[in-house]
Every structure is written in structure tokens, then in C-alpha cells.
Amino acid sequence: MQLPLSIRLRDHATFENFLPADNQQVVVTLQRAAVSDNDDATALYLWGTAGSGKSHLMQAACHCVTACDEVAVYLPLRDYQMFAPALLEGMESLALVCLDDIEAIAGQSEWEEAIFHLYNRMQANGTQLVVSANSAPQGLPLLLPDLMTRLGWGLVFQLNELNDEKKVEALQMRAQAIGMEISDDVARYLFSRTRRDMHSLFALLERLDHATLVAQRRLTIPFLKVFMAGDT
């Protein structure tokens, strides 16, 4: 199946680069779903706040499937206007389909119906569907009640947000994944002076990675002070 998409998975979005903390059961379930070859796959539904790791885990599962020479697709529904619901036709033949941020298409009847029918086809085929959202299924403002019902049929997991200590650890793990080193002191200094959601922290980390490469400097507190002064 040729997908008319150019959605590239993030290289660092792997299970090895994810800090499970209180989400160990979710990680294990996704790992098993990504490598299992069975005819009775159970749909998975992940929900949590922005930055809780939903997109990372879905992309990690796709990496896992691809490594097994199977075909997986990751579809960020927040960008649904870039493609048409007809894109979902035939996806039930893939080993894994990940639909991220399903709340983005709530109220879009054509998309809701297309996902409803894809869900049914994948269940009949025994192929793996993973859906993510910012709320539990019953909290989605969907027009199609049957879709809400279907989403609650499979395994539903809430991703727990990391506490402050684990966020620092996750920041250091992400830094290591992109070839940076962040000491405990630097990580805590950074953490205490910026927004604490993981999206903001990881975005800042990418800017710091670029800045240190340009300056050919290590990431130290003095460097960080200069950077943040110029970043305000």
C-alpha cells in the first residue's frame, strides 16, 4: 500500500528513550502489540495531557513494527486538513495504524465515519489500531456515538504525568539521545527557569543543542544564562 504522506517518525522516539515512571504497563502493552503476530489484536486507546508521551509511544511502536519488516503508519490527526478521510481506506491491511490526537477531528462527520469504519475493518482483520486523545473516550465531543463506543471497547490507558524529579531525568535522557550531556546541576537550573511541560522542555533542548553546536561550547550554567538572556 502506497501512502500519500511524508510523515517522518522522529528518530529518537523509541521505547528505549522513553521514561516509563508510572506508565510501565502502557509501555509493555504497546511493545507487545508492536511485535505480536496474532489474529485477535485489541485496539488500544491512550489519553493524557499534552507532553505526557502519547506521540512518542505511538511513534516508538511504529519504529518497532518497521524493524520487523512490517508496515506501520503514524497519522497526526491535528494535521487532518492536509489529507482526506479516504486516506484510511485499505489501512486495515497494515500491521499497525496509530491515530494521534483524535480529538482534533471531533465534529468532522466524514472523518468520524471513516475512523469508525477503519476500526471495524481492523478488528475483523485482527490488525493493530492505536488511538490517542486528550481525554477518555466518553469525554470526546464526537458527533458519532458509535465511534465513542468503539473507542472504549479496547484497552484504555491514561498516561500519568511525570513528577518534577522524573521530568529532570526525562530531560537528561532526551539530551543523551541527541548527543548532548546535561549535568544534574544544569538540568535543575534549566528546569527551575522555564515552563515545566515536556513539550516546552524538549523544544528548548533542541534550541540549546543547536546553540551549543554553533558556539562549539558545552552546555554549562554560564552558557545557559547567556542563552536564556538572549532568548527572552
My answer on whether 49 and 141 are in the same domain is yes
Using 50, 70 and 90 to split pLDDT, how confident is the model at 38? low
111, exposed or middle or buried, with CB in 10 Å at 0-12, 13-18, 19+? buried
Q: Which domain holds residue 209?
A: 164-230
Q: Which residues contact 93 (CB under 8 A, 6 or more apart)?
A: 1, 125, 127
Q: Percentage of the chain with pLDDT > 70? A: 94
Q: Is the pLDDT of residue 191 over 50?
A: yes
My answer on whether 74 and 113 are in the same domain is yes
Query: Of 5 and 159, which is predicted with more confidence?
Result: 159
C-alpha span between 177 and 122 (Å, rounded): 34
**Could you say which of 101, 131, 158 is where a domain stops?**
158
Q: Is 76 part of any domain?
A: yes
What value does the mean pLDDT take over residues 138-166?
93
**Could you say which of 115, 140, 158 is where a domain stops?**
158
My answer on whether 66 and 120 are in the same domain is yes
Q: Is the pLDDT of residue 39 over 80?
A: no
Q: Convert the pLDDT of each residue in 53-85 to its tens digit.
A: 999 999 999 999 999 999 999 999 999 999 899
Here the CATH number for the domain that contains residue 77 is 3.40.50.300
Domain count, the chain: 2
My answer on whether 112 and 38 are in the same domain is yes
Query: pTM, whole model, 2 decimals?
Result: 0.82
3, exposed or middle or buried, with CB in 10 Å at 0-12, 13-18, 19+? middle
